[in-house]
Amino acid sequence: MQREQENRKVLKIGLTVAVLMVGFGFALVPLYDIICDITGLNGKTGVLAAQDVRETAVDHTVVVQFDGTVNSDLPWSFRPKQFSMEVVPGKLYHTEYIAKNISTDDVTGQAVPSVAPNEASIYFSKTECFCFTEQLLASGEEKNMPVTFIVSADIPKDIDVLTLSYTFFNKNRMTTAEKQQAGNANHEKI
């Protein structure tokens, strides 16, 4: 009888710990997003609507470099149309990337963006981006993928170069961590 009570107690404790661990795991996602938004970690960028852009007088420029890669599971080629652009902070700019499906099958990809250096990410906002949604390319299809962005006029003058980088993943073969990161990118509209 005593052993049965001890077993029930251990079972209750074990179940309670398991439920708390699962709950903690789910609580980490919004906590991670909040920390990334505050610190600019993980290349998270701000969100800005095109109508919210204000022209401001700025006496310096910033070089924005563009980079594009694909995960090895994605049979695409992907690259920026231009590799860098000199921008005036506070003004809206537009660029494009080119993606091509080089396989014999239709493939859905998801882009995960990042900005480097990390401290510059809070000054970089996209108003339009292909990374906001999944991209389906038919076999052999090539597509121009637009990005409209602004570098905040508040960017410190010591940050004179930043890099906007995208990695495309095969949506059907993404790991749980990659899906989480892509979901955060879609949720954040970065």
pLDDT tens string 21-49:
776 776 666 665 555 555 455 545 555 45
Residue 140: pLDDT band (50, 70, 90) is very high
Confidence of residue 153 (pLDDT cuts 50, 70, 90): very high
The residue among 29 and 144 whose pLDDT is bigger is 144
Query: Which residues is 63 bridged to in the sheet?
Result: 86, 161
Q: Please give the single-letter amino acid code of residue 55.
A: E
- Res 61: pLDDT: 93
Residue 187 pLDDT > 50: no
Q: How many CB atoms lie within 10 A of CB 26?
A: 9
Q: How crowded is the C-beta side of 1, counted as CA atoms within 13 Å?
A: 0
Q: Is the pTM of this model over 0.75?
A: no
pLDDT for 5: 84
The whole-number average pLDDT for the span 161-176 is: 83
CB–CB of 68/137 below 8 Å?
no
What angle is formed at CA 187 by the lines to CA 107 and CA 91, rounded to 5 degrees?
95
40-188: CATH homologous superfamily? Answer: Ctag/Cox11 (2.60.370.10)
Instruction: Specify the range with the lowest mean pLDDT, choosing from 5-19, 42-56, 58-72, 172-186.
Output: 42-56
pLDDT level of residue 135 (50, 70, 90 thresholds): very high
Q: What is the DSSP string of the chain?
A: -HHHHHHHHHHHHHHHHHHHHHHHHHHHHHHHHHHHHHH-GGG--EE--GGG------S--EEEEEEEEE-TT--EEEEESSSEEEE-TTSEEEEEEEEEE-SSS-EEEEEEEEEESGGGGGGEEEEEEGGGS-EEE-TT-EEEEEEEEEE-TTS-TT--EEEEEEEEEEGGG--HHHHHHHHHHHHHT-
**Is 80 a residue whose pLDDT tops 70?**
yes
> For residue 79, is pLDDT > 60?
yes
